[in-house]
A and B are shown apart, each in its own frame.
Chain A
Amino acid sequence: MRVLDPAGPAAAAIANLWWVMFALSVIIFAGVMATLGIGIWGRRDGPKGRREQVGRHLVLIGGALVPAVVILGLIVYNTYISVDLEEPATASVLTVSVRANQWWWHVHYPDHDITSANEIHIPAGRSVTFEFTSDDVIHAFWVPQLQGKRDLMPDHVGHFWLQADEPGTYRGLCAEFCGMQHAKMQFLVIAHEPEAFRAWLEERKAPGPDLTDEEAIRGKEVFSEYGCGNCHAVGGTEATGELGPDLTTLASRRELGAGTLPNTRDHLAAWILNSQEFKRGNRMPPMPMPDEDLQDLLAYLETLR
């Protein structure tokens, strides 16, 4: 029950609001149904005046007064939570910049100059602020266990925060209909212990080791032969395309195609040969190639951590 299984302070505050409203709902519904039941099946042969008297007061007390009181209370509680959620729970230690595209997520850490896609790493136990925008249509960023959702609009830069209390992996998804493959635009938020997070940052910032494997060296040539760099950037190389996800950290990611497939060698091979089979309409054309080239390319891609 993702919404009701909060893993951070924002989602927890919202889950509390839910439980309060749910309890009130059960009481109100039971009350209304009891009244209806008495209305239909209750004894009508008792003292006439009594039943009439109660019936006459039902409309204004049950219908107007009780709702007014309940709603007033809810508005006050709701305003309190809304104001509380405006500011991050703790001082923010990280900013992440997310740009939504049809149908993938561009992720950038401005403080560390790391670029990635479809996977966001954060330290656990501290708030992380986000800058949001879209490169095309309206999308929405939603990680149910951590925070409410926010629309990402192309003509606006929005701000947002979330916090994961414990290390873990949290599913995120696009929650505003954005075209054909809206259903396959997911992402992951992975929270680490603070030291582990620092280590993760260092690994990503370190320049890639010189390629020693022959297959991988040929694979890098295959990569430029097939023009992959026109769409996909790889840090530290001439590949600077921004039309598709940045591949600098591809091998360290858990999923492919914004949550379409798990990131394994076989899935990656199938995706490269014909991603349209798995996510029709996505912007990557089929790339048929002889198996030798494919194997070399995969060896190269496996070095991109």
Chain B
Amino acid sequence: MTTSVLKPYEARRSATGRLAALTAVNHKTIGLRWIVTAFAFFIAAGLLALTMVTQLSRAGLGLLSAEIYNQFFTMHGITMMFYFAVPIMLGLGLYFVPLMIGARAVVFPRLNAFAYWVYLFSGVGLWIALFLGRAPDAGWFSYTPLAGPNYSPGINVDLYALSIAFLEASNLAAAVILIITILKMRAPGMSINRMPVFVWSILIASLMIVFAMPSLMLATTMLALDRIVGTAFFRIPAGGTSFLWQHLFWFFGHPEVYIVAIPAFGMVSTLLPPFSRRRLVGYLPVVLSQVLIGIISFGLWVHHMFAGELSVLAMTFFAAASMSIAIPSGTQVFAWISTIWMGEKPRVKTAYLWAVGFIPMFVIGGITGIMVAAPPFDWQVHDSHFVTAHFHYVLIGGAVFPMMGMLTYWFPKMTGRLLDETLGRWSFWLAFTGFNVAFFTLHYTGLRGMPRRVHTYMGGQGWSTPMTVTWLGALLLGAGFAVTLINVLKSLARGERAGANPWEAGSLEWAVSSPPPAHNFDAIPAVNSRMPLWYDVAEGSERRGGYELPEQERLTVGTSTLDGEPEQRLLVAGPAIEPLLLAVAGAVALYGALISLWLVPVGALIGFIAIVLWNWPGRNRAKEQG
């Protein structure tokens, strides 16, 4: 019904030859690598968590020594926040944004490949360190002076500072790609107020990355310099300060959690309409809310420092700002409830379950967030497990649940097969139950006075029983995720084949085959509404046009930023080895500094060569190959 306008095209391979895997730049190939790598890190960090919660399930258990436990909780935080949560959103964005906006590619395909390699190298570097017992162990937030050269003399925190600085380059590159792709490559007719809400959420998150990540890059670079070269940004005897790290880190750290959450909100806005057969209620309030959350989130960071020495005035300002974010959040929650309310009786599929299950979890997490935003209450529960419970509600309930729903929803588009519904339901209910058993209990444990980041505790404080309950819940949660993994593996091999639009959804990615051809769209579609497949293509209507482009070159259409008027044809770069070369150069320069400072100019030289080749005229003329 919806695909008849598209001419059959021969599928083209993106890259050929023996080096195909190393030179690939197709946004779906790279996007899928981001997604799969992020899930691998999710599983790894999840296993760390299960080990830690087992250690804490009774008082005085000694499964892990203090040193190893401290590496575990540090790596759990680093991996989940830096190597899973943001990359999965970026990966889903890099794969699906071009499809949702009617484009054939992202705007800088080689930069996309570079960003992926950097992400992979920096993550693998840290995990090798963990296997060698040398992982960072000062927490994911790595406060100085503990993380400075005086109190963490080993290589552990050096690896943290360098890996994170390296990773930030990757995230910034991916963010820039997404911003410009979204602003300049939308299909003709897709004015900015017709963009899917998910695309809006990726745009906002990417803009936030551009403003927030530099603060972290600065902080980690300064930490690396203090440790390796002997500067005095944070070294107190030499004139540094301890508060400086906290401000720089949290100026990034608070927006970071919204960088993860805002795309998750976009996902919920995407998941509810198809199963309620009703377009999203309140597109404008929802988009404005996301923008507002993005902006306000930059004014909250001091709420992580309420236990420090701050004036009542400063604390009250940041408390009020922190609480005020409930207003745009609440607006979205009620837009979602209203969409369900005004829609037809829901078709309950697994993807829908994850989206609806998110709502109570996010509301609870938001409520406890308001509580900890009150400084006097935070003085009691800061650095206790009450806070751990709060942020797991908003991160797992508020971000991982929508992401699981989106995985289920988009799996057929990426692979051409549907996930099994029965396994999907088992996965959801195990995860939902296990999660609440584990983390609701943790609020209680925190109020009983149990601090965070402790490798063990004495008995007789009333913590053992609730921690055992949390442990059991965590096992259930892990089982729930494991069922999805089994579902993925089974469905890849034997899943029911999916057509182009198994959910009868309305956005453009459902107009192409499952999986999509390398070039996405035979003809760039013209768009007349927010849900093109629902409203543009009425029965028998000939309104859908398309922009065809010459086949001999890799071309897509560039349009104006606000109105989506076609302006230009854009050349899309083809396969290249330079992104990998530049990523290797970065790794040599950064990690090499730990071996010898002479490796830094060596890495820089390789990088220089890579950049020259990258830009060499005619070398990567976007002509079709083979």
Chain A residues within CB distance 8 Å of chain B: 1-4, 11, 13-14, 17-18, 21, 25, 28-29, 32-33, 35-36, 38-40, 42, 44, 51-52, 54-56, 58-60, 62-64, 66-68, 71, 74-75, 78-79, 81-83, 85-86, 102, 136-138, 140, 142, 144, 147-151, 153-156, 158, 171, 173-184, 186, 259, 280-281
| Inter-chain contact B145/A138, CB cutoff 8 Å | yes
Near A by CB (< 8 A), chain B positions 374-401 give 374-384
With an 8 A cutoff between CB atoms, is B608 at the interface? no
Given the interface pairs A38-B341, A71-B370, the reply to whether A151 lies near B377 with Cβ below 8 Å is: no
| Inter-chain contact B360/A44, CB cutoff 8 Å | no
Number of A-B contacts (CB under 8 A): 234
| Inter-chain contact A21/B374, CB cutoff 8 Å | yes
Task: Select which of A54, A156, A180 is within 8 A of B66 by beta carbon.
Answer: A180
A230 to B529, CA, bound (A): 80
Near A by CB (< 8 A), chain B positions 421-473 give 444, 446-449, 451-458, 461-462
Task: Select which of B281, B319, B456 is within 8 A of A75 by beta carbon.
Answer: B319
With an 8 A cutoff between CB atoms, is B133 at the interface? no
| Inter-chain contact A40/B380, CB cutoff 8 Å | no
A226 to B319, CA, bound (A): 54
Task: Select which of A62, A74, A78, A177 is within 8 A of B452 by beta carbon.
Answer: A177
Q: In the complex, what residues of B have CB within 8 A of residue A25's CB?
A: 367-368, 371
| Inter-chain contact A29/B455, CB cutoff 8 Å | no
| Inter-chain contact B374/A44, CB cutoff 8 Å | no
| Inter-chain contact B449/A79, CB cutoff 8 Å | no
Q: In the complex, what residues of B have CB within 8 A of residue A179's CB?
A: 138, 146, 151
| Inter-chain contact A64/B448, CB cutoff 8 Å | no
Given the interface pairs A142-B451, A171-B449, the reply to whether A149 lies near B458 with Cβ below 8 Å is: no
- The B contact surface, by secondary structure, is helix
Given the interface pairs A29-B367, A60-B331, A138-B242, the reply to whether A18 lies near B377 with Cβ below 8 Å is: yes
A36 to B309, CA, bound (A): 42
With an 8 A cutoff between CB atoms, is B335 at the interface? yes
Contacts A14-B380, A78-B375 known; list 10 others, CB within 8 Å.
A14-B376, A25-B368, A40-B346, A58-B341, A59-B338, A74-B374, A158-B309, A173-B449, A176-B383, A180-B67
A110 to B456, CA, bound (A): 34
| Inter-chain contact A156/B379, CB cutoff 8 Å | no
Query: 10 smallest A-B Cβ distances: which pairs?
Result: A148-B379, A63-B334, A183-B454, A2-B449, A63-B331, A39-B341, A39-B340, A137-B146, A67-B330, A63-B330
| Inter-chain contact B448/A153, CB cutoff 8 Å | no
Q: In the complex, what residues of A have CB within 8 A of residue B454's CB?
A: 182-183
Q: In the complex, what residues of A have CB within 8 A of residue B335's CB?
A: 59, 63
Minimal beta-carbon separation of B341 from chain A (angstroms): 4
| Inter-chain contact B338/A56, CB cutoff 8 Å | yes
**Proximity bits, B134-156, A CB within 8 Å = 1, else 0:** 00001100010110000100000
With an 8 A cutoff between CB atoms, is B363 at the interface? yes
| Inter-chain contact A281/B66, CB cutoff 8 Å | yes
With an 8 A cutoff between CB atoms, is B492 at the interface? no
Q: In the complex, what residues of A have CB within 8 A of residue B461's CB?
A: 171
A178 to B138, CA, bound (A): 8
A71 to B145, CA, bound (A): 36
With an 8 A cutoff between CB atoms, is B342 at the interface? yes
A17 to B319, CA, bound (A): 14
| Inter-chain contact A182/B453, CB cutoff 8 Å | yes
A156 to B151, CA, bound (A): 18
| Inter-chain contact B326/A71, CB cutoff 8 Å | yes
| Inter-chain contact B371/A138, CB cutoff 8 Å | no
How many B residues touch the partner, as a band? Answer: 35 or more
Minimal beta-carbon separation of B12 from chain A (angstroms): 45
| Inter-chain contact A151/B375, CB cutoff 8 Å | no
- The A contact surface, by secondary structure, is helix
| Inter-chain contact B312/A83, CB cutoff 8 Å | yes
| Inter-chain contact B374/A17, CB cutoff 8 Å | yes
Minimal beta-carbon separation of A200 from chain B (angstroms): 25
A68 to B325, CA, bound (A): 10
Minimal beta-carbon separation of B322 from chain A (angstroms): 10
A184 to B449, CA, bound (A): 14
A83 to B315, CA, bound (A): 11
Q: In the complex, what residues of B have CB within 8 A of residue A177's CB?
A: 138-139, 143, 146, 383, 452-453
Given the interface pairs A18-B371, A60-B331, A75-B319, the reply to whether A148 lies near B376 with Cβ below 8 Å is: yes
Task: Select which of A52, A74, A144, A156 is within 8 A of B309 by beta carbon.
Answer: A156
Task: Select which of A59, A60, A82, A175 is within 8 A of B384 by beta carbon.
Answer: A175
A2 to B461, CA, bound (A): 9
Q: In the complex, what residues of A have CB within 8 A of residue B360's CB?
A: 29, 32-33, 36
**Proximity bits, B343-362, A CB within 8 Å = 1, else 0:** 01110000000001001100
Minimal beta-carbon separation of B358 from chain A (angstroms): 11
With an 8 A cutoff between CB atoms, is B204 at the interface? no
Given the interface pairs A33-B360, A144-B449, A156-B309, the reply to whether A3 lies near B327 with Cβ below 8 Å is: no
Task: Select which of A17, A38, A82 is within 8 A of B316 by beta carbon.
Answer: A82
Minimal beta-carbon separation of B296 from chain A (angstroms): 13
| Inter-chain contact B377/A14, CB cutoff 8 Å | yes
| Inter-chain contact A178/B376, CB cutoff 8 Å | no
Task: Select which of A74, A148, A183 is within 8 A of B455 by beta carbon.
Answer: A183
| Inter-chain contact B331/A44, CB cutoff 8 Å | no
| Inter-chain contact A17/B307, CB cutoff 8 Å | no
A2 to B93, CA, bound (A): 45
Q: In the complex, what residues of B have CB within 8 A of residue A178's CB?
A: 146
| Inter-chain contact A1/B143, CB cutoff 8 Å | no
| Inter-chain contact A62/B334, CB cutoff 8 Å | yes
Task: Select which of B66, B330, B341, B446 is within 8 A of A280 by beta carbon.
Answer: B66
Task: Select which of B333, B337, B379 is within 8 A of A149 by beta carbon.
Answer: B379
Nearest residue, chain B, Cβ from A81: B376
| Inter-chain contact B243/A153, CB cutoff 8 Å | yes
Minimal beta-carbon separation of B17 from chain A (angstroms): 50
Q: In the complex, what residues of B have CB within 8 A of residue A137's CB?
A: 143, 145-146, 151
Q: In the complex, what residues of B have CB within 8 A of residue A281's CB?
A: 66-67
A32 to B342, CA, bound (A): 16
| Inter-chain contact A39/B452, CB cutoff 8 Å | no
Q: In the complex, what residues of B have CB within 8 A of residue A85's CB?
A: 376
| Inter-chain contact A183/B65, CB cutoff 8 Å | no
Nearest residue, chain A, Cβ from B334: A63
Q: List 29 A-B contacts (CB under 8 A).
A: A2-B447, A3-B446, A3-B447, A14-B376, A14-B377, A29-B360, A32-B333, A32-B360, A32-B363, A38-B341, A39-B340, A40-B356, A44-B345, A51-B342, A55-B281, A55-B341, A63-B285, A63-B334, A71-B370, A74-B370, A74-B374, A82-B312, A137-B143, A140-B307, A148-B307, A149-B383, A175-B382, A182-B453, A186-B458
